[in-house]
Each structure stands twice: as C-alpha cells, then as structure tokens.
Structure 1
Amino acid sequence: TEVYSDKSIDKIGGSQSLIPDIKIEKSGNLNVLDNASFEIFYKDFASVLPIQERVTKETLNKMIRKELLESGVDTKFEFSVYNNNLATNVKSGDFKYNKEATYSIPVFTDNEGNSKYQLLVTFPQKKKFLLSELVSITILSIVFTLIIIIAYSSALNQLIRQRQISEIKNDFINNMTHEFKTPIATINLALDAIKNPKIIDDKDKVLRYLQMIKDENKRMHAQVENVLRISKLEKKELDISKESNNIHEIIEDAIDHVNLIIEDRQGTIKCDFKAVRTTVLINDVHFTNVIVNILENAVKYSPNTPEIEILTENIKDMVIIKVKDKGLGMSKVAQKRVFEKFYREHTGDIHNVKGHGLGLAYVKRIVDDHNGHVYVESEKGKGSTFIIKLPLIN
C-alpha cells in the first residue's frame, strides 16, 4: 500500500520519479484474504435472512447457558432478540422485560459494525442469586463478629471479676488482720498485767484477766471456725444430718445465743409466731447458727439501739421466717450480692462494722442444703428483712 500526497502527484509530469510518502507492506497466505472475503460475503447474504433462520432459540439458550456457567453464574435466565426495539420470535417462553434485572448487547453486526438486533437477557431470580452468593460470606462475617464480641465480653468480664476478687481479697485480709489484732493485743496486755507482782496475788483480778484471755481466744477460734466451715461446705465435707425439729424452738435457742449482745446494746427482740405448723426436717446446730448469723448482722448493722422483730407464718406447705431490723439497710446491688462469700458492702470505713462477709454465705449454703430459700428485702436507711422459706414435714 502506497500513500501519495498532493504535492507528489503534481510532479507526475516532471522529470522526478514518483516517490510515495508512506509505503506499507504486508505479506501473508492468500487463504486469509479468501476467508475475509467469504466473511464479508456471508454477512451481506445473512443480513437479508429473517432472524429465526439465522439462529434458533434452542441454540441461543445453550450458548448463553454455557457462557454464564463459565462466568460462575448458575441461575435461571430468560432471553429475547429485539429488532429495532421490537421483539422477534427468537425468545424464551417466560421472557418479561424488567429494567433492573435485564441486560442487553448488540448482535449480528454487519460489515460496517452496525447492528439492528439486540440480545436481551433477564434474570428473574437476580436478588435471590446475589443473596445466595453473599450468604456464605455474610454468615462467616457474622460468626467471626460474634466470636470477637464473645471473646471481648469474656475478657472484659474476667477482668472485672479479677478486679472484684482482688478487692474482696484485700478487704478480707484487712478485716481478718483487724479482727485478730485486737484480741491478740488484749491477751498480751492481760498476760502482762498478770505478771505484775501487785496483781498476781490478787485472785479476783487474776481470774478476771484469765476470763478475758479465754473470751478473746474463743473469739479468734470462732472466726477460724467460720472460715473452715465455709471451706468444708464447698468441699461437701461438712456432715449435716437432719432430724424433725420445731422451728420455733430453734429460733428461741438462737435468741438465747445473742441475748447478751443485744442486752449490751440495750436492744430488743420481739417475736410474733403466727405459724401453726412448725415441724421441719433440719439440722438443729447448723440452723441455729443460721438464725444467730442473721440476728448478729441485724445487731451489727443497727447504728442506734437494735430493734429486731422475728415473725413466722405458714404459706401452703412452707414455713416462712422473717427477721426485721431498723438498721442501715442496703442498696439494690448489695441485695443481689449479699450472700456471696467475702462480699461486704462498703460503708466508708472498712472496719466500721466487723466481719468478713462469710456469715451470710454460710446462711445461704445451709438453707439451700435444707431445700429452702433465703433472700433479703431492704431499703437504704430503713432497715432490712431477711426471709427464709423452709418446707414442712407433711
């Protein structure tokens, strides 16, 4: 192929030889030219045929399905060939035009690249297919997100629990140290006093100091027993044999144990026994300790003169025991956690009320072991009511 400019052509009549401005040379087999000319001829011939004679809907269906499967699209489709925006007979049976789910492309272009035919393919289940493709990724994302949330929540919960345990442990150690420090100091002072030559000959004073030593030793022993009792309960080593007992007699026995403490505080205990059926299957020693612990708490948490009321009543096959006081009361949070081991509600000074948070934990374990229920109703500044429900012996 040679390309000449106008200036070159003007020189044809002159003496100068004709030289092309651009010269393009290509070599190849003549078959290529034959094929090209056949393609041009075929397109011209085919363009005059009706569309249904050029392609059948079965052939077109197979071709579209094959292409879609190769592209990973395995869903129902419908198709139609349009001629200048008018539908032809080459279409699937359920084809309906849907703007959002229909795609079109020109087909059967002529030798100049123009086409009067459009192939329209629609996907009736497009949204379902897209969702099914995304569902596995979505499920995995949700699972991983849940795992992360659970792991984070668990770690945060463990961190909070560890912090609470640390605070409880420090509280317990401080209280236990304080509880032992006072009796030890008292015992040492009593011993030093007895050694004094002026006192050792005074029998009454010696006996008083010896009684003081005995009382303080008994006090420390009781604290140790309290800790060991809880430990044995948790290991299920505490032997709890149960017998038929009158609950009113158990309550009266418990009152006798705390009478001295109440008299020392100039307090009062009122009993209102309305329960008619009072026979329960309990361990008298442990259940006496339960009532004693609740009464001691009522005294300890009454900043003024303790005013305690004990009531009993029958509801169905249960006997209800209520121990009311007019003490400090407790918050809603404390009411939920008051029966936890070592838990004590902070009231400003850590030692303003002696104890280790073991008494009510012991109460809970013993009552549960007797198939009963124990809970507390309280209002800050207005006192508390401990309620015990026990099954009666029919």
Structure 2
Amino acid sequence: MKSRFLIGLSALALLVLIAVQYVIITETYRTKKEQFDTRFGNLVKEGMSKFNSMDYNFDFDSVLFLLDDKAVAFMFSEPDSLSQTPGEIFHEILNQYRDPEYFLRDYISKAGVDPKFTYHLQVDELYLVDINFRQQVYPNGIQLPRAPASALLAGNFTHERNFFNISYGIYIDFVNRSKLILREMWLILVLYLCTLILVFTVFILTLRNMLRQKRLSEMKSDFINNMTHELKTPLSTISVASSSLGNRTIIESPERVEELSGLIKRQNKHLSELIDRILDINIWEKDQVKLKPEHLMLENWTRQLVKGFLLEQGKEAPEILLDIHLINETHMLDEVHMATVLNNLFSNAVRYGNTPCKIKLEVKDRDQCLWISVTDNGPGIKKEDLKHLFEKFYRGAEAKQRVVRGLGLGLYYVKQIVEAHGGNISVQSKPGEGTTFHIKIPTDDGPVTC
C-alpha cells in the first residue's frame, strides 16, 4: 500500500511538473508572439510610410481613374444586370496594384528578416455617388475577402473622389511566424525538453528500483521462510531421534539404535549442507567461482552421476533416458561443480515434475561446443516466471502453489557455474508441455563463448 501511494504521488508530481512546464512554454510563446507582432508590425508600418513618401504613387493615379470610370458606369446600370457587385470589382482592381507588396518585400529583406509573407487588401468602406445622394454599397451584407486574423496592418488608406469614396487596409501575414518565434525560444525549448527527459528518466528508474526492491524483499522474505522450514525439518528429526535413543527399549535393540544413529547422521549431513549453502551465497558470483577443471571421461562420468542420483532417490527415483553422442571422449570441466549443475536440474525435475517423473539427458559435442540439455515431463513454467528463473532467491508460482521446499538458489548456482565455464544456459518451457534446459560450454579448442 505504501509503495502504491509513493508511486501514485510520484506520478502526480510528474504530471504537475509537465503541466507547469506546458503553461510556462505557452505563456512564453504568447509573450514572444506579442513581441513579434509589435516589432514586425512597426517594421511594416515604417515600410509603408516610406512607400507613401516616395514617388511610387504615380501609377496609382491610373488605378483611381479606372475606379472613377467604374463608378460612373455603376450610376447608369441596373443592379440586376451586374455579374459582380461594385465592392467585388473595386477590390479586384485595387488588389492588382502590387507596388506596395514589392516595396515591402525589399524593405523587410534589407532589415535582415526573411520576407516570406502573404499580401492582403481589405476593403472596409465603399460609397458610390448617385445623381441625387450618396448611397452606401459596402458594407451592406456583401462578403469581400478579409485579411487573416494573424495579419499585421501595414496601413489604412482613404480616397475621396467625385464619384466614390473608399477606405481599405493593407495587411501583411508572415507565413513563417511560428518558425521565427520558436527559433527565438530554442534555448527554453531545449531546456524544457532536457528537463522533461531527465525527470521522466529519473521517475522510470526510481519506479523500476522500487518495484525491484519490493520484489527482492518478497523474495528474501520467502527465502527466510523456506530456510526456516528447511532448517527446522532436520533439527526436528534429530531431536526426535535423540529423544528416542534415551528410551530403554530402543537402547536394548542394536538394530533400532543403528537405524536412529544413521538417521541422525543423515540429517546432520543435510543440515551441514544447508548451512554451507547459505554461507556460500555471497561467493557464488561468476567472477568469484573458483573452478578446478580436469579432463573428464564425460560419457562414463555422466552415467556414473545419473546412477548415483537414482540411488539417492530410492523409491522416488525418476526414469532418466540418456542420449550421449560425443566425438571427443574427454572434456575439461570442473567435476564437482558440473555435478552440482546436473543434480540441481534433476532434483528440480523430480521436485516439480509429474508422477511418474521422466527425464531426458542429452550430451553431445559439435561446432566446438559441448551441448547439454535436460528435459522433464513436468507441468512447465509460466512465461512471467521464465525471465526471473535464474535470479537469486527466486521461486516461481508453481513452487509456491505446491508448497515445495527449496531456497530459490539452485538455478542461480547452475547459471553461475555454467557462466564460469564460459558457457550459457537457456530455458524453453510452456505450461503443460514440460521444461528443457539448454547448456552450451566451449570445448578446449573451441571459441571463447558458444
């Protein structure tokens, strides 16, 4: 519950941080946009003012004369006979006069700014002169092209003529406005992105570490419980056997005394092995395992090992099928440690397998590697357990459900020993289909790894 609360609180803090950063970026962008509009708005107005003060307007006189002619024609035309409204025609004629646009492009370019913009002319008012009175034509429900809301006003113009009055504005809309603003904000954006990545990475690593610590704590707790059970069993047996030896009836029976003494001896040996295994946990690392490799007659050694394991199991001995195909008779291996590897794999097959338990052991050498595989007919291993199978103290769901005794160290030892030999181990399993462990170890003249 505490871990969930901390995770939830951390996630909430991360979301709040992202929200705050987003607000800061948004406000910064808005401020930069206002500064952009002010700066470039003043620039285009200055340019337009210079244009008006120069001799650029003589061409515009011909435009005004053309508009006068159109206004006179409208005075003597029936409205229904026109294909275009007066407002549309006046807008079209004015928009063809692009000298202001050309001047502004040159002016803005000389100011060191990329002159990528669109030019817009927006008619605001238009009055045509009738013979008897001035009649407002625009605006009067007539929809003419309007400049975009993002466009900057370059200048307003009004022309009062004999036959018409018109007011219009020239607007400039920078198409790369966002690009220019973001270019000014690049440092803030980079810092924001780096901060976000850093915080998110720290959050993920912290979350992974918390989950790992939680799982490790559960595994250690499980290990302690199992270790307690493993230690109590031989101690209880020794205690009962010792008490029985004090019984006069048993003392008078040499067979019973010998039987109980043997039981105490076996349990004492088992207890010593458990304690040694627990004490050796810290030295079972790949770089600390001390190997004593020797030339083993591998086929003979394997058969003797299997025979000894079957004798140990007694009535619960599994059926072990051997499939040995060796090109070389001898291989350099640590006899004691390799015996631990195979005995652990056999023991797991018996402990978690079905009844009757069947095991297949394959040993062969090819491609300059020694290949060993152990297959059982057990219930298989769940996918979520496979990736943790060789971790220290880890015991899968199947072991917990069956209340199988164990410390969760066997497969960890197996992996460390195989890797100390320069090899690797993998597992292949599906629920209901049994399990196969594959071991590959380089031969004497083989590669460093297989």
TM-score with structure 1 setting the length: 0.72
Shift of residue 229, structure 1, vs aligned partner: 3.1
Aligned partner of residue 337 in structure 1, secondary structure: coil
Could you say which residue in structure 2 is the equivalent of 1:185? 236
CA distance in 2 between counterparts of 1:71 and 1:352 reads 77
Answer with 330-339 or 98-107: which moved more: 98-107
Q: 1:192 to 1:69 in 2, by over 3 A?
A: closer
CA distance in 2 between counterparts of 1:170 and 1:350 reads 16
For structure 2, the 5+ residue unaligned runs are: 1-34, 61-93, 110-114, 121-147, 160-165, 446-450
* Structure 2 residue 406 is matched with structure 1 residue 355: yes
Asked if 2 retains the 8 angstrom alpha-carbon contact of 1:227 and 1:358, the reply is no
Answer with 353-362 or 276-285: which moved more: 276-285
CA distance in 2 between counterparts of 1:98 and 1:243 reads 89
Matches within 5 A, 1:89-128: 91-93=104-106, 97-99=118-120, 103-106=152-155, 123=174, 125-128=176-179
Q: 1:241 to 1:71 in 2, by over 3 A?
A: farther
* Structure 2 residue 201 is matched with structure 1 residue 150: yes
* Structure 2 residue 382 is matched with structure 1 residue 331: yes
232, 247, 251: which one aligns with 2:283:
232
Shift of residue 102, structure 1, vs aligned partner: 5.5
CA distance in 2 between counterparts of 1:298 and 1:348 reads 12
- AA partner of residue 198 (structure 1): T
- AA partner of residue 254 (structure 1): L
Shift of residue 258, structure 1, vs aligned partner: 1.2
Q: Over aligned residues, Cα RMSD in angstroms?
A: 3.4
Matches within 5 A, 1:14-163: 79=47, 81=51, 86-88=97-99, 91-93=104-106, 97-99=118-120, 103-106=152-155, 123=174, 125-163=176-214
Aligned partner of residue 269 in structure 1, secondary structure: strand
Q: 1:277 to 1:348 in 2, by over 3 A?
A: closer
CA distance in 1 between counterparts of 2:244 and 2:381 reads 43
Could you say which residue in structure 1 is the equivalent of 2:333? 282
Matches within 5 A, 1:299-318: 299-318=350-369
Q: 1:388 to 1:72 in 2, by over 3 A?
A: farther
Asked if 1 retains the 8 angstrom alpha-carbon contact of 2:427 and 2:438, the reply is yes
CA distance in 1 between counterparts of 2:419 and 2:286 reads 15
209, 217, 220: which one aligns with 1:169:
220
Asked if 1 retains the 8 angstrom alpha-carbon contact of 2:361 and 2:375, the reply is yes
Shift of residue 156, structure 1, vs aligned partner: 1.9
CA displacement, residues 323-361 of structure 1 (integer Å, 9 cap, x when unaligned): 111112111122211111111112375663111110110
CA distance in 1 between counterparts of 2:220 and 2:305 reads 30
Shift of residue 296, structure 1, vs aligned partner: 1.0
Matches within 5 A, 1:214-293: 214-234=265-285, 236-277=287-328, 279-293=330-344
Higher helix share: 2
* Structure 2 residue 415 is matched with structure 1 residue 364: yes
Q: 1:329 to 1:116 in 2, by over 3 A?
A: closer
* Structure 2 residue 386 is matched with structure 1 residue 386: no
CA distance in 2 between counterparts of 1:348 and 1:276 reads 38
- AA partner of residue 104 (structure 1): L
CA distance in 2 between counterparts of 1:142 and 1:174 reads 47
TM-score with structure 2 setting the length: 0.63
CA displacement, residues 289-339 of structure 1 (integer Å, 9 cap, x when unaligned): 111111111111123122111112333111211111111211112221111
Could you say which residue in structure 1 is the equivalent of 2:24? none
For structure 1, the 5+ residue unaligned runs are: 1-67
Could you say which residue in structure 2 is the equivalent of 1:319? 370
Answer with 193-202 or 96-105: which moved more: 96-105
Q: 1:118 to 1:301 in 2, by over 3 A?
A: closer
CA displacement, residues 140-183 of structure 1 (integer Å, 9 cap, x when unaligned): 22222222322222222122112211211111111111111111
Asked if 2 retains the 8 angstrom alpha-carbon contact of 1:323 and 1:387, the reply is yes
Asked if 2 retains the 8 angstrom alpha-carbon contact of 1:97 and 1:122, the reply is yes
Query: Higher Cα Rg: structure 1 or 2?
Result: 1
- AA partner of residue 209 (structure 1): L
Asked if 1 retains the 8 angstrom alpha-carbon contact of 2:381 and 2:398, the reply is no
CA distance in 2 between counterparts of 1:230 and 1:72 reads 72
- AA partner of residue 319 (structure 1): L
CA displacement, residues 47-99 of structure 1 (integer Å, 9 cap, x when unaligned): xxxxxxxxxxxxxxxxxxxxx999677xx989553667545585553777445
Q: 1:199 to 1:329 in 2, by over 3 A?
A: same
Answer with 81-90 or 362-371: which moved more: 81-90
Shift of residue 124, structure 1, vs aligned partner: 6.4
Q: 1:392 to 1:72 in 2, by over 3 A?
A: farther
Shift of residue 253, structure 1, vs aligned partner: 3.7
Could you say which residue in structure 2 is the equivalent of 1:200? 251
- AA partner of residue 289 (structure 1): T
- AA partner of residue 275 (structure 1): L
Identity percentage of aligned residues: 29
Q: 1:79 to 1:387 in 2, by over 3 A?
A: same
Aligned partner of residue 239 in structure 2, secondary structure: helix
Shift of residue 109, structure 1, vs aligned partner: 10
Could you say which residue in structure 1 is the equivalent of 2:32? none
